[in-house]
A and B are shown apart, each in its own frame.
Chain A
Amino acid sequence: MTDARDDTADLDLCAREPIHIPGAIQPYGVLLVIDPGTLRVVQASANAAEKLGAPLEAGTSLPAALPALAEALSGDAALEAGADQQRIEAAGRHWQMTLHRSGAHLVAEFEAPPAAEDETMDRLFPRLRRFTETLTDDGDLARLTGHLARHVRALTGHDRALVYRFDAEWNGEVIAEDGNGRLPSYLGLRFPAGDIPAQARRLYRLSRLRMIPDIDYRPVPIMPAIDPPVDLSLATLRSVSPVHLEYMRNMGTAASMSVSILVAGELWGLVACHSARPHAVSLNIRNACDFAVQAAAARIEARERSAGDALRLRLGEVLGRLLGRMAAASDWRRGLVEAGPELLAQVGASGAAIVAEGSYHAVGDAPEEAGVRAIVAWLEARGEGDLYATPALATLLPEAASFAAVASGLLAIRISELHPSWLLWFRPEVVRTVSWGGDPHKTVAEHGRIHPRASFAAWQEQVRLTALPWRPAEITAAQDLRAAIVGIVLRKAEELAALTQELQRSNKELEAFSYSVSHDLRAPFRHIVGYSQLLRERAPELDEKCRHYLDSIADAALSAGRLVDDLLAFSQLGRTHVASTDVDMNKLVAEVKHTLAFTLEQRAIDWRIDPLPPAWGDPNLLRQVWLNLVENAVKYTRPRNPARIEVTGWVEGDETCYRVRDNGVGFDMAYVDKLFGVFQRLQRAEDFEGTGIGLALARRILDRHHGRITAQGRLDEGAEFMFALPRNPTRKPTGKPTKP
């Protein structure tokens, strides 16, 4: 770029340039800033006195200097109006005055009326009516905007009219064009967001139409400069930025006019008209253009709304089906995963993943779990809120480039407020070729100054690592799903809390029940046994049969009583606290032998009890284990004479082991698995009494100690039971293994 003009601005100046307060106007009109209270001039463009034929410097009283204007302003309607247009007579001719408020001031702009007869509103109206009538039939955006471009150019007479649409990043794309061939075609080209900076877009929203009839105009200053300056955002005559003029010059245009297309209050696009030579458009024609563009904008809005409604309706149906699946499943995550295609359809994704601390579910085309977890970690680190969407994840998270093929687009919703738990949707990379109007990257020139690019020839760029953007209705659908999930999660949590409470209550009831059973159910059995024994002693004259009956009554009650005791002991074990301490096992075995003394009275038993190593456990529970094992050994050796019972113990690794071996009736190893089950008996009840709970209880006690119990047996030869307990974890292992 070799432009030698001094008014080129650097990038910083451009971004900060206060273009709404330029301090100057273009010379095709006159501007006055008026105090509406005093009707005195506050500021005037330097050409005011000459054009309007009256002394109009600051402080001038309008009723004296320009009575027609003072009269026009004194009407209430004019003062109330946000913007109004009137005819004013001044300096012997008509002027079209456009009036608007700016803060406390009135801004009046004057333009000479059109010379041409066909530019009167009477002539323009039928053309506008025809245009709007054709619009009503048009549902197709390309046809509608093409029609708009042709109509606007027909009205203004510029060399070329473009319909320009913004994308989500404010890049513009030329979607329709009409021209006479004097200027090159830009149809299909994109223009980067920087071509129309944010502050310019703000003005385009506030003031829909602006015109530069000749870029080589000499700005007319507004006198005097005042502080604070008056906001001229809505002034049509406003002088434009030198950077913009340079831009136009580089484009090969000498005149321009643009009309904003506002859809739902937002800047949707522009109709931009250009001419190779200076070209002015009268206020009437400009008004007609504005009208035509807003009529088209209304059509676009209706069209987008109905398309959005249709999409929302479809997504709403999908959400309904998803909710059904979630509510039906016991785990809502499973419900979502099983409804995979619908989960993807909800936002138009090709893959999804549901990630929580302990769980991971994926549907469709998703990155590997590690990649998905990396995304979640990144979202958490960024402190993202409930929803996050990007069409180009890899441009923000570099490691995502490795799985860009499946996950360039990311739409994420946070499911839990408490845990890093997310539902992520993915869209694949779509490699697109974009035609730019000139290379948008070549903006920085020599000496660090920035100039608008000089070439607007089509410049092709391949866009990678980017997916199709998420549409607003899809993002809304994701939000709806999030609300539904949070609702369901909350409900499930409440159900769980209620269940826990219920369990605690029934646990308490069970304890009360056990207590009551232990007191009240035991007593009657004891009484039956007691009375039948007393009766037996008191009536020695009873015959054999009667004594047998009495014994049977006593035996039955006795075994029922023992059953109650054993069941209670077994059920208590689950809620008994295991109070581990160092236990002298020699003492426990001696106690157990003493307990059984009554049973042992008439037995000849050859005992061999070795010194036993101390154990780490709850002495009361371990005593129960010994009691069951020794009692069994005594019981099942009853047919032996002499019976041999051997008790040994040793330390092995981190365990202490104990063994009870006998030469009793033994058991078939085929049934060894049944040995430790509740109510499992391998012997007939009439041969050996018992409730079938003893070994189950022993195993449960060892489970509670994180120990184990095993059995070896041979039918008619004997049995051996070995149990092992973890050693005291607080004490270093001492001594050598003493396995016998």
Chain B
Amino acid sequence: MSELRPILLVEDSPRDLELTLAALEKCQLANDIVVARDGEEALDYLYLRGPFAGRAEGDPTVVLLDLKLPKIDGLEVLQKVKGDPALRHVPVVMLTSSREEQDLVRSYELGVNAFVVKPVQFSEFFKAIQDLGVFWALLNEPPPRYRLR
């Protein structure tokens, strides 16, 4: 069995990070969770540079990307990923507090795979995160080389 590819979680808010990690933990996924705290770190990870220059090869199974991020914001990261033929296949799920329409429209224009407004109700939040995690980590068909089952 080939190694599981990690989930990249890009989140600047420590509380959201902690809660999201708690939710993912409950899914009991075997995948590693890699955390990036801003857009720059996320791109460093994806492009194997900076602190991630020596990491193991391979793209994450899914990127959970917060919209509002320091330095390089979520939309810019999304644009970069979906504009790069080498990364375009990596699923990106936008996580956000926003219900502002322009964010949503812009994300879809840039080719986001899913857009999740973080629900206030924690049980709903858990469910959403779990669904996402399970869906992208287990159900989503990766390229043939990484086929899981």
Residues of A that sit less than 8 Å from B by CB: 514-515, 518-520, 522-523, 525-527, 529-534, 554, 557-558, 561-562, 565, 568-569, 572, 576, 598
Contact = CB atoms under 8 A, between A and B. Distances in A.
A530 B19 contact: yes
Interface stretch (B1-9, B122-130, B138-146): B122-130
Contacts of A554: 122
Contacts of A576: 101
B99 interface: yes
B122 A519 contact: no
Contact of B124 (A532, A572, A598): A598
A433 to B, nearest CB: 81
Contacts of B97: 518-520, 522-523, 526
Contacts of B98: 515, 518-519
A572 B118 CA distance: 19
Contacts of A558: 120-121
Contacts of B125: 526, 529-530
Interface in B79-131: 96-101, 118-125, 127
Contact of B118 (A514, A526, A532, A562): A526
B101 A557 contact: no
B120 A534 contact: no
Given A522-B120, A526-B16, A569-B99, 15 more contacts: A518-B97, A522-B118, A523-B118, A526-B119, A527-B16, A530-B22, A530-B122, A531-B15, A531-B19, A534-B19, A534-B22, A561-B121, A565-B120, A572-B99, A598-B127
A511 to B, nearest CB: 9
Contacts of A525: 120
A554 B120 CA distance: 10
Contacts of B99: 518, 565, 568-569, 572
Contacts of B127: 598
A555 to B, nearest CB: 10
Contact of A529 (B13, B96, B100, B122): B122
B37 interface: no
Contacts of A533: 122-123
Contact of A526 (B22, B100, B101, B120): B120
Closest 5 pairs (CB-CB, A-B): A561-B120, A530-B19, A530-B122, A533-B122, A527-B15
Nearest to A560: B120
Nearest to B119: A526
Nearest to B103: A515
A160 to B, nearest CB: 97
Contacts of B16: 523, 526-527
Contact of B122 (A515, A520, A526, A562): A526
Contacts of A522: 97, 118, 120
Contacts of B15: 523, 527, 530-531
Nearest to A554: B122
A601 B97 CA distance: 26
Nearest to A515: B100
A59 to B, nearest CB: 101
Residue among B16, B119, B122 with the highest chain A CB neighbour number at 10 A = B122
Contacts of A518: 97-100
Contacts of A530: 15, 19, 22, 122, 125
B74 to A, nearest CB: 12
A523 B14 CA distance: 11
A412 B81 CA distance: 72
A525 B15 CA distance: 11
Nearest to A563: B120
A515 B22 CA distance: 28
Contacts of B101: 572, 576
Interface string B44-75: 00000000000000000000000010000000
A533 to B, nearest CB: 4
Residue among B99, B120, B121, B125 with the highest chain A CB neighbour number at 10 A = B120
A515 B125 CA distance: 21
A412 B100 CA distance: 56
Contacts of A532: 122
A534 B96 CA distance: 21
A557 B120 contact: yes
Contacts of B68: 519
A530 B125 CA distance: 8
Contacts of B119: 526
A561 B121 CA distance: 9
A561 B117 CA distance: 13
A522 B122 CA distance: 13
A329 to B, nearest CB: 43
Interface string B22-37: 1000000000000000
Nearest to A620: B101
Nearest to B101: A576
A523 B15 CA distance: 9
Contacts of A568: 99
Contacts of B96: 519
A554 B124 CA distance: 13
9 contacts: A519-B68, A519-B97, A526-B119, A526-B120, A529-B122, A530-B19, A533-B122, A534-B122, A558-B121
A355 to B, nearest CB: 46
A527 B124 CA distance: 13
Contacts of A569: 99
Nearest to A561: B120
B13 A523 contact: yes
A527 B13 CA distance: 10
A561 B98 CA distance: 13
A533 B120 CA distance: 12
A474 B118 CA distance: 75
B43 to A, nearest CB: 22
Nearest to A557: B120
Contacts of B121: 529, 558, 561
Nearest to B14: A527
A11 B71 CA distance: 97
Contacts of A562: 120
A553 to B, nearest CB: 12
Contacts of A519: 68, 96-98
Contacts of B118: 522-523, 526
A526 to B, nearest CB: 5
A338 B98 CA distance: 54
Contacts of B123: 533, 598
B124 to A, nearest CB: 7
A515 B100 CA distance: 7
Nearest to B102: A515
Contacts of B19: 526-527, 530-531, 534
A518 B122 CA distance: 17
A591 to B, nearest CB: 15
A285 B120 CA distance: 114
A185 B99 CA distance: 100
B77 to A, nearest CB: 17
A638 B96 CA distance: 32
Contacts of A520: 97
A282 B88 CA distance: 119
A572 to B, nearest CB: 7
A533 B98 CA distance: 23
A221 to B, nearest CB: 99
A538 to B, nearest CB: 10
A663 B123 CA distance: 29
